[in-house]
Amino acid sequence: MKKTIFLLLAIGFVSMTSVAQEINWVSFEEALKLQKKTPKKIMMDVYTNWCGPCKMLDKNTFQNKAVADYVNEHYYAVKFNGEGNEVINYKGKSYNNPNYNPELANRRNSAHTLASYFQISAYPTIVFMDEKADVLAPIRGYQTPPQIELYLKMFKNDDHKSIDTQEKFNEYYKAFKPEFKG
């Protein structure tokens, strides 16, 4: 009996201390509304249900405390299924997935027209937007916490505005000192 109680207490303690930090995800349209009240940049995670690296990004990067804290403070965070069937209104146009097949919900589906508009051709892709919801850049592929930190801080601080060549990006990258632990 004592062993059982001790085991339950130990499991409870471990599960309480390993609770992942949560990013405050909102819908794209909600982020656009929030921007009108309090301007902030948007970080949009464009994923699909079948994408393994997308799931790794969620688990290993977006649940990292330093990443989540930084995103929650400086960005509106949006999750967007690049093959989903949600209707999105953006900059006076309506976007959807006219060829969406619900039977393929957990497998490859057709691309959402907003994903096509953003020229997303790989998953995951993180789309950074300014305070007016204009696209700054799409960042393709899985990012570790230190890797995404570079982009989070670069766009938040508008450092990207002075980077107009690969050489300038390389200099910025070499000078960057990541603080987030992977």
Give the β-pairing of 75-81 and 25-26.
Answer: parallel
CA–CA dist 88, 114 (Å, integer): 8
Residues in the chain: 182
* Concatenated DSSP letters of 133-144: S-EEEEEES---
DSSP codes of every residue in 63-106:
TSHHHHHHHHHHEEEEEEETT----EEETTEEE--TT--GGGTT
| 46: three-class secondary structure by DSSP | strand
* CA atoms of 165 and 34, how far apart (whole Å): 33
| pLDDT in the model for residue 4 | 45
Q: What is the pLDDT of residue 100?
A: 81
What is the DSSP secondary structure assignment for residue 21, as one 8-state letter? P
Q: Within 10 A of 66 (CB to CB), how many other CB atoms are there?
A: 17
pLDDT of residue 109: 86
Show pLDDT as tens, one digit a residue, over the chain (182 residues).
Answer: 555 444 444 444 444 434 567 999 999 999 999 999 999 999 999 999 999 999 999 999 999 999 999 999 999 999 999 999 999 999 999 999 998 887 776 788 889 999 999 999 999 999 999 999 999 999 999 999 999 999 999 999 999 999 999 999 999 999 999 899 87
Q: Give the tokens for residue 160.
A: 């990207």
pTM above 0.95, yes or no: no
Q: Are strands 41-47 and 75-81 parallel, antiparallel or unpaired?
A: parallel
- Pairing of β 135-140 and β 41-47: unpaired
